[in-house]
Structure 1
């Protein structure tokens, strides 16, 4: 992964900007995942990256569902601009719900911003998925972030029943965000509901749920949006990841 020379000058290395803190554990997990899947023999083989972890960013779901008037966009835009000024040439946002603001943010920034939901749905389709179950926050479901991506990709989708979705929100907000292990009875009830609706895969469409896969060793029914984002961020920075299971 040596940098090539052009006109006698070293080729400028890409720099990944992680717009994080949404929540902090998910941002940390993405960074560790990038390190773990880089074929590095020395420090210089790793990706150059900068991280913003503004945990005080207003809650995305609360704003989307109308429980809060605090708009997270201004904070996200400010941090995105700061990352670019610090040298970021491509941005990744390890928060699915925050992609409600994706179009505005991408238009406001002069560098590419990876779209985690669209990339994840594309990966699911490439893997043969015909109907994707969506495990995500109420905000992501209300914004139809994944539903729209599924329609664009030409595959079906389903969401958990209201009761099962309440369980998903409990896992995300009352357990993972508080540093606790997931109640797998609640999680599995939502997954079983999606299977009963004919889904052949389910997306972990909240980065907190990616931590459930890490801790509970979930099976191939689940496609992890954080893993997809990690792969695509590494490829965007010119590094081919190693060690991932096939989707």
Structure 2
């Protein structure tokens, strides 16, 4: 753990509720007894950023990268020592964003896969948006880290997108039975865990008290890493 006090810059708004959950995770997981024990954060909540998945899969010509770079530069100028992005799919643009700032950006993808490896697990099911899956950004890191993985078949992937975009993002009640059905479809392929590789899925986990051992919440992993990089202690840690 680093002992130097640092400021984290958060690229948020992708979507807005997931950003709120990330901030709650950081606050609730920080071992703090007074206001001054908490982490200093600078946050952008740029909800009007173009949709990442629509651009990646070719449904939109509106590239969100300029906005993401602009926000990263604002965070750097505001005194952030490092940046986190509260969106998995946005990591498709990770290299372009990193090239435009002089402070490090923590990868939610790498931290999540490293966390799984540290638990001694061998195979993960990846639940994520079309953009994340089609770009293979999670799959590539799994290969780099020698972690076996599975992805959903086309029908279940479409069902997951419906849950993410037409239920969670719209603030509607999630069809949890349908969610469990698609989870079971990938769990049955000998997966030790499932990566919640979309921050909207973190909302589902939190709202439904899903098992911490099987459901690997990328937003939770990022929050814990953020606390550590800021030189603070984690209130508790579930192995």
TM bucket normalised to smaller: over 0.9
Larger Rg: 1
Residue 215 of structure 2 is matched in structure 1 by 222
Instruction: Tell me by how many angstroms 1:40 deviates.
Output: 1.2
1:200 to 192, 195, 202: 192
Pick aligned residue for 1:236 from 208, 229, 238: 229
Supply the distance in 2 between the matched residues of 1:107 and 1:186 (Cα, whole angstroms): 40
* Correspondent of 1:173 among 140, 155, 165: 165
The residue aligned with 1:19 is: 11
The unaligned stretches of length 5 or more in structure 1 are: 5-10
Q: Secondary structure at the match of 2:8?
A: strand
Q: TM-score, normalised by structure 2?
A: 0.96
Match of 2:175 in 1: 183
Higher relative contact order (CA closer than 8 Å, sequence separation 6+): 2
Post-superposition CA distance 1:31-50 (Å, at most 9, x none)? 11111111112111111111
Written as runs of structure 1 = structure 2, the 5 A alignment for 1:100-111 is: 100-111=92-103
RMSD of the TM alignment (CA)?
1.2
The whole-number CA distance in structure 1 between the counterparts of 2:28 and 2:125 is 28
Q: Secondary structure at the match of 2:113?
A: helix
Give the Cα separation in 2 of the matches to 1:62 and 1:164.
Answer: 19
Match of 1:92 in 2: 84
User: Does 1:31 pair with 2:23?
Assistant: yes
Question: In structure 2, what is the Cα distance between the partners aligned to 1:129 and 1:164?
Answer: 24
**Which residue does the alignment assign to 2:113?**
121
Runs of 4+ in 1 over 3 A off after TM superposition: none
1:82 aligns with 2:74: yes
How many residue pairs end up in the alignment?
236
Q: Is the 8 A contact 1:164 1:186 kept in 2?
A: no
- Name the CA distance, whole Å, in 1 between partners of 2:192 and 2:186: 9
TM-superposed CA distance for 1:181, in Å, is: 2.4
Residue 245 of structure 1 and its aligned partner are, at CA, apart by 2.4
TM-score (norm. length: structure 1): 0.93
Match of 1:8 in 2: none
**Candidates 156, 177, 189, aligned match of 2:148:** 156
For residues 152-178 of structure 1, give each alpha carbon's deviation from its aligned partner in whole angstroms, at most 9, with x where no partner exists.
000111101111111111110001101
